[in-house]
Structure 1
Amino acid sequence: MNFINFAVVKFSICLALGIITAQAFGVNSLLIPVILVFCLLLLITAWFYSRRQLLQNAFFGSITFCCFFLIGYCNYQFRSPLAQTNHYSVFIDTSQTELLQLKITDVLKSDNYYHKYIADIYRVDSIPAEGKILLSVKKDSVEGLFAIDNELLISSGIKPFTPALNPHQFDYAAYMNSLGVLFQLQIDHRAIIQFSNGEKSVRGVADGIRNYFLKKLKASSISSEERSIIQALLLGHKTEISKELYSNYAKAGAVHILAVSGLHVGILFLIFSWLLRPVLYVRHGKIIKAGMIILLLFSFALLAGWSPSVVRAATMFSLFAFAGIIKRPTNSINTLFLSFFILLLCKPQRLFHIGFQLSYLAVFFILWVQPRLYEVYSPKNYFLRKAWAISTVSIAAQLGVLPLTLYYFHQFPGLFLLTNLVILPFLALLLGVGLLILLLLSLNSLPTEIAEAYNVMILSLNSFIEWVAGKEFFLIGDIHFSELKVISVYLVIIGIVLLLKRFSFERCMLCMVSLIFLVAVLVHTNLSGETQLILFHKSRSTIMGIQQRRALVVYSEEPLKNIKQLGLIKDYRIGKGIRNYSEAPLPQILQYKSQLILFVDSTGVYPPASNIDIIILRESPKINMDRLIDSLQPRQIVADGSNYLGLVKRWKQTCKIRKLPFHHTGEKGAFILE
């Protein structure tokens, strides 16, 4: 497939590279006007130079790409919360209680103790402000949930998120920061001074529509577990799916169907295009059809709660429909990159969302690779031909997202092809009939037979997913996949696809270089490996590990079985590519390289040792810190998560007075010695 307008692809890549650069180097609002002026001067210089040239050379193109790079850089910087002069954090002292006026913009999944929301702060005391915040309200202090567009007046102090305290653990603080949420509020009902229904927004209207249909579904004859899947498929409401059922979908490689996004909107786009084919026979039928498709797609986005993922997908496929209206020579990849460019221009933070990355990579590889795969085999039987088409779509999409999937989730469902071969045709039927059921529910005229038949369909889907998930032999897990591996594998995939499309010496060399790079990365990964001691942070427990290249010895008083089940150990092993694992009891004195480490436990008893470099305090020993320091003369004191916070504060204060380094894993994270 040749790009008819390759410029939009290049501009999109330059824009994305600018956003990545801005994110890597942090936010500096003072640079924004300087870079914008520089960008303007570059364009003026390029225009004056190029207008005198009969044939354009690489100078003007290079300057143009540089400008799009700078646009991406500035746009990310400009839209960052830290660059906003009226962000609420400018007016708030985190150590004091403030009077905050906020409006709820999103309802998140609750945990065991809190109802959670994303809210926009629009006033601090009497000062106008802006910015998103995570609001957590204790479950036992309020009746029911707040809704989108509810406005609250709260008297409380804000606090920052706690970063990940152990290496390679999920960093919730970084995740919330990627959403533009820098601080959080944890309150009970006493902090809420005033409550009111605010002015309705599009998201609020969408949430009201979704809640209406959720109530209708609950009143129907569809059983609870099957209803939870319907709510996820059609309304984007996943909070009622059980952990076991969600785990089965993940193991079967079908978790993507539980999140309303590009797959669902793409299927609906095809369904609507097929249903509206008769419109083409009327005057201006092409324009009318495209307009109706766009209207229906955004109506579904409204029905599904107007979440960012479904709005993104609706925008992307609406551009496909719009491309048919203007009748300009184009192709699907140009349209895809145009939507990519527009969405990043509107909200550059989207680039770092996993769903955004996987969605665009899957669609790109389907458009780029699937036609070539489909030509490999041409069955004459109609059903075989359709099965082959679905298989090639699944393979192309999986090829596109595989490196990122391994990087983010560290597992590969071996039966993904079988799963998609069954689910994709089934999903189109489920979506079509499901929308019909919602329409009938809104009219209070849903026949019991249709509801029961749909219930059987969902039950069959769940049974199939459970059967596939049970084949654990085909689920490859705990895969270590670094950033370098992601880049090298994508280079190999791109090189091979280009070579298969058209053989040439240049493409052959590109393929060979990418393969050599991949082999070099794999060899480097296997031969490299650091040696370090790490004291993990774990509440009420002491867990220490010593890594030597690809081997890890864990020191703890807990049984090996329980240690293996700890998420922090699993995350560390996967992140470091640990192959050999063993356990040993915690020693009282440990020699690590040239440093002598002493553990002092709850007994408070320690030997009269000398030349102690590091003392690790665990299980809240009752000791006199001054006497301990005078006796052992350590170079550093470390306290892990098994100690009472009151004792830790006193130890920290004593070490501060004695000018002795003090490390608390609950504050600074895991203690690491290289």
Structure 2
Amino acid sequence: MKFINFAVVKFSFFLVLGILAAHFLPISTFLLNYLLALLLAVFALWLWSRKQLIQTVYFGIATYLCFFVIGYFSYQIRLPEFQSKHFSHLVTDDTAEIFQLKITQILKPDKFNLKYFATVNSINGVPTKGKILLNVSKDSLSKSFSPDEILLVYAPISEIPKPLNPHQFDYSKYMKSLEVYGQLRVSEKEILKTRKGTRTILGMAQNFRASIVEKLQKTKLKTDERAIIQALVLGEKKDIGKNLYTEYAAAGAVHILAVSGLHVGILFFILTFLFRPLSRWKFGIYFQAILIVLLLWGFALLSGLSPSVTRAVTMFSFFALAKLFERDTNSINTLFLSFLTLLIINPLWLFQVGFQLSYLAVFFIVWLQPLFYKVGYSKYRIVRKTWAIVSVTICAQIGVLPLTLYYFHQFPGLFLLTNIVILPFLTILMCGGILIVVLASLEILPNWLAESYNFLIEGLNGFIHWVAVQDEFLFKNIHFSSLKVFGTYLLIIALVLFLKKISYHRLIISLLAISAFVTIYIFDEFRTSSNQLIVFQKSKQTLIGYKNGTNFTIFKNDSTNNISEEYPIKSFRSAFNIENYFEEKLIKIFQYNNKKIFIMDSLGIYPKQKSIHTIVLTNSPKVNLNRMIDSLKPKQIVADGSNYYSYAKRWEKTCKLKKLPFCHTAKQGAFSIE
């Protein structure tokens, strides 16, 4: 008898459908009460159907509806509008309030601010709840804060800004997936009081990790090497330099820097080996399983409980429990059981990139690797071991490739070489890293061991650097839409099913999947082939882009440096499948779709003709806008990010009086001229 039934896959599917329905089709608070009543009714129907001797179709329908409604309900109740005590109901933008905050997590700082996640305990003495992003100015602060510390601050709350350019990374959306719905920007003078708060398990784990990092800083470990060991063992990536991280990404080895299933798997086998003597005792197998599960969860807490590590630890916990109760289990069942469990606990994890990539990689390894392993099987042990690494890497890459292209628009061509070289040594690096962390924590780390580990990590970083500089093997700016992601996964699944069992029906399904993929590809090419003229938002700079099919020209004042790989041009090129890119000097008057566009610079000189459709104000011209509007009779006015904010605010008032459309890109985002 199996540990679980394959029905858990179907349950997971309907749970995901419910979460997606709630995400894209939310309902009001009033209707949510009816949804809860529906859930109770469906659950009652399920209980009644379950007692029947012969199960009918109604039992299956009730079961699947239960999971659908659970997914829908659990997602909705996490939204601020469905939480009566959420802080968002008591605050107004740009109005200062007295906030009592509790630090929950330390984030990677930027150039100007220390960053934290904090819970809002109260506003002006009224109890509240909800998470917030706290930015504390570096210049004004003498010390940083630690988890579980309580702050009393007086400052205005604000929304996390949405992207101002098309297809830019939406930081606000990402924060919402972490249940963060606002931010505070404060300096030391706005922090009225601080004190120690009630300790939490997560807070103690973070403080313990911080103390280990502090002790590691006192050892002979070099900066980059120490950053790698912190990432490998502690899940602490804040000290990894931007250039080093970029090189790991270009080499296809960035998964090594994020504690994930690979690291947890290695730790699981290390712990199994260390506690093997316990199995000789009468009840030793129970102690062994319990100890391994507890230590794995301790490691997950220490590394920050990221979605990928939580997935891995949950999955290995189910494996350990299955072994404990002597139940046969199946890897796919166990994977989906952990998937179902975690999404019931936190449905918002479904929208996190790490969670998606983690589950896809493991699913395709479990599903495809046996097929690949048979193809390359050899009687020679070294060939078998090498092929095992190669097949696992290929299967994982097949699983995550469509989503990787969609999110990051690049593909490391040498990923296979990187993993073949690195993966066999990762266990050594993990074991050595754990030993160094333990000895450093006890302050007895010998210098020779630290220097030896420096040598190993230097070798690893050197190899990563060599792979990363092979630019011809790094494919960038790859256009991959959400439709292509769907079509690609449909094609992969259909072809794999056909190869596993060749039949007429599966051949038809594969041909239909190929047809769907080709149709999606043609439609996507057609969709991105339209023309567009856009005024981008760029602080202190004027950028106007003209897209003509797959050709894209940027008009700018400074023609000396190439900005094709800079923000915001890079993301726009990837999103619209730009093949040919050009940069030109900005011209003052040009025509687009039979409409004349006038670019006014800092001189404030304008022509005498009255056929101007759009005026783009740049570099804060000192112009009498009233007189210019009366003279040129424009249909709309745009001010880009190169203008002073005070000027743009004055121009906006003038246009409002003239009943003339006005857009300030620094406030409203990039403007597309139709």
TM-score normalised by L of structure 2: 0.96
* Counterparts in 2 of 1:620 and 1:531: CA distance versus 1, 3 Å: same
Report if aligned partners of 1:27, 1:82 keep a CA contact under 8 Å in 2.
no
Give 1:348 deviation, angstroms.
0.8
Summarize the Cα distance change of 1:394–1:362 in structure 2 as closer, same or farther, 3 Å threshold.
same
Contact 1:560 1:583 in 2 (8 A): no
Pairwise CA distance, 1:51: 6.2
| 2:564 match: secondary structure | helix
Q: Does 1:376 align with 2:385?
A: no
Distance 2:499 2:307 in 1: 36
Q: SS at the partner of 2:568? A: helix
**One-letter amino acid of the counterpart of residue 371, structure 1:** P
Q: How far is the alpha carbon of 1:49 from its aligned partner? A: 6.8
2:574 — aligned with what? Answer: 574
Using the alignment, how far apart are the partners of 2:595 and 2:547 within structure 1? Answer: 16
CA contact (8 A) 1:323 1:335 kept: no
**How far off its partner does 1:162 sit?**
1.6
Equivalent residue, structure 2, for 1:69: 68
Partner letter of residue 264 of structure 2?
V
**Which residue identity does 2:588 align to in structure 1?**
Q
**Whole-Å separation in 2 of the counterparts to 1:321 and 1:3:** 12
Alignment of 1:237-636 (within 5 A): 237-528=236-527, 529-559=529-559, 561-636=561-636
Output one character per residue of 1:123-145: Cα deviation in whole Å (capped at 9) or x when no partner. 00110001111111111111131
Unaligned runs of 5+ in 1: none
Provide closer, same or farther for how the CA distance between residues 597 and 201 of structure 1 changes in structure 2, counting only shifts above 3 A. Answer: same
For 1:238 and 1:434, the matched residues in 2 are separated by 15
Runs of 4+ in structure 1 off by over 6 angstroms are 49-53
> Partner of 1:79: helix, strand, or coil?
coil
Displacement of 1:669: 0.6
Q: Which deviates further from its counterpart, 45-54 or 297-306?
A: 45-54
Q: Distance in 1 between matches of 2:591 and 2:303?
A: 59
2:307–2:349 contact (8 Å) kept in structure 1: no
Against the structure 1 CA distance between its residues 50 and 491, is the aligned structure 2 distance closer, same or farther, given a 3 Å change threshold?
A: same
Q: Which moved more, 1:509-518 or 1:145-154?
A: 509-518
Q: 2:409–2:477: 8 Å Cα contact kept in structure 1?
A: yes
Moved more, 602-611 or 407-416: 602-611
Tell me, in whole angstroms, the C-alpha distance in 1 between the residues paired with 2:307 and 2:415. Answer: 26
What per-residue deviation string (whole Å, max 9, x for no partner) do you get for residues 40-90 of structure 1? Answer: 334445665786683533x43234223311211111001123321111111
Give the Cα separation in 2 of the matches to 1:30 and 1:178: 24
Is this contact kept in 1: 2:49–2:56, CA < 8 A? no
CA distance in 2, matches of 1:51, 1:151: 52
- Contact 2:402/2:488 (<8 A) preserved: yes
Distance (Å, rounded) in 2 between the aligned partners of 1:36 and 1:246: 46
C-alpha separation in 2, matches of 1:139 and 1:612: 47
CA displacement 1:298-347 (0-9 Å, x = unmatched): 22223334455433432232122112223334311111111111111111
- Paired residues of 1:155 and 1:192 also in contact (CA < 8 A): yes
Contact 2:599/2:617, CA 8 A, preserved across alignment: yes
What is the match of residue 650 of structure 2? Answer: 650
Please state whether the residue corresponding to 1:562 is helix, strand or coil.
Answer: coil
Classify the secondary structure of the residue corresponding to 1:478. coil
Q: Is 1:81 aligned to 2:80, yes or no?
A: yes
Whether the 8 Å CA contact 1:210–1:305 is kept in 2: the answer is: no
| 1:266 positional shift | 1.7
Deviation at 1:667, TM superposition (A): 1.1
Q: Distance in 2 between matches of 1:429 and 1:520?
A: 48
**Bigger shift: 637-646 or 235-244?**
235-244
- In structure 2, the CA distance between the partners of 1:3 and 1:604, relative to structure 1 (3 Å rule), is farther
State how far apart, in whole Å, the 1-side matches of 2:287 and 2:168 are: 51
Is the 1:485–1:518 Cα contact (8 Å) retained in structure 2? yes
Distance 2:42 2:591 in 1: 60
8 Å CA contact 1:8, 1:338 repeated in 2: yes
1:156 is paired with a residue whose SS is strand
Q: Which amino acid aligns with 1:60?
A: F
Is 1:669 the counterpart of 2:669? The answer is: yes
Q: Is the 8 A contact 2:289 2:324 kept in 1?
A: yes
2:151 matches 1:135: no
Q: Which amino acid aligns with 1:669?
A: G
Q: Which amino acid aligns with 2:593?
A: K
Q: CA deviation at 1:273?
A: 2.4
Q: Which moved more, 1:13-22 or 1:272-281?
A: 272-281
CA contact (8 A) 1:222 1:455 kept: yes
Counterpart AA for 1:551: N
Q: Distance in 2 between matches of 1:338 and 1:670?
A: 44
Q: Deviations over 1:405-435 (max 9, x none)?
A: 1111111111111111121121111111221
Residues 619-647 of structure 1: CA deviation (Å, up to 9, x unaligned) = 11112222122222222111111111111
Percentage of identical aligned residues: 48
* CA-based RMSD: 2.0
Does the Cα contact within 8 Å between 1:410 and 1:477 map onto a contact in 2?
Answer: yes
Aligned counterpart, 1:119: 118
For 2:546 and 2:452, the matched residues in 1 are separated by: 57
User: What's the offset of the Cα at 1:612?
Assistant: 2.4
Q: Is the 8 A contact 2:45 2:62 kept in 1?
A: no
Distance 2:538 2:425 in 1: 45
Instruction: Decide whether the 8 Å contact of 2:555 with 2:586 is kept in 1.
Output: yes
Amino acid at match of 2:449: I
Alpha carbons 1:406, 1:479 under 8 Å: kept: yes
Post-superposition CA distance 1:82-112 (Å, at most 9, x none): 3211111111122321000000001011111
Deviation readout 1:244-296 (Å, 9 max, x if unpaired): 22121111111111111222112211222233333333223432222121022
Q: One-letter code of the match for 2:344? A: L
Structure 1 stretch displaced more, 296-305 or 247-256: 296-305
Distance 1:133 1:555 in 2: 39
- Residue 25 of structure 2 aligns to which amino acid in structure 1? F
* More moved, 213-222 vs 554-563: 554-563
What secondary structure sits across from 1:158 in the alignment?
Answer: strand
Displacement of 1:400 in angstroms is 0.7
**How much does 1:545 deviate?**
1.2
- Map Cα deviations across residues 526-571 of structure 1 (whole Å, 9 max, x no partner): 3442221111111122111121221112222221633324321111
Whether the 8 Å contact between 1:616 and 1:640 is mirrored in structure 2 is: yes
1:593-622 residue CA offsets vs partner (Å, 9 max, x unmatched): 132222222121111112322221111111
Alpha-carbon offset, residue 366 of structure 1: 1.1
Q: How has the CA–CA distance of structure 1 residues 97 and 393 changed in structure 2, closer, same or farther, with 3 Å as cutoff?
A: same
Q: How many Å separate the matches in 2 of 1:49 and 1:385?
A: 51
Q: Which runs of 5+ in 2 are unaligned?
A: none
User: 1:298–1:53: structure 2 CA closer, same or farther, 3 Å change rule?
Assistant: closer
Q: Work out the CA distance in 1 between the residues paired with 2:306 and 2:142.
A: 25
Decide whether the 8 Å contact of 2:308 with 2:354 is kept in 1.
yes
Q: Distance in 1 between matches of 2:38 and 2:210?
A: 50
Residue 555 of structure 1 aligns to a residue whose secondary structure is strand
Q: Which residue of 2 aligns with 1:217?
A: 216
Q: How far apart are the structure 2 equivalents of 1:175 and 1:24?
A: 16
How many residues in Structure 1 have an aligned counterpart in Structure 2?
A: 672
Q: Which moved more, 1:436-445 or 1:565-574?
A: 436-445
Distance, in Å, in 2 between the alignment partners of 1:402 and 1:331 is 25
SS at match of 2:537: coil
Distance in 2 (CA, whole Å) between partners of 1:398 and 1:509 is 26
Aligned to 1:6: 6
Could you say what secondary structure the match of 1:379 adopts?
coil
Residue matched to 2:196: 197
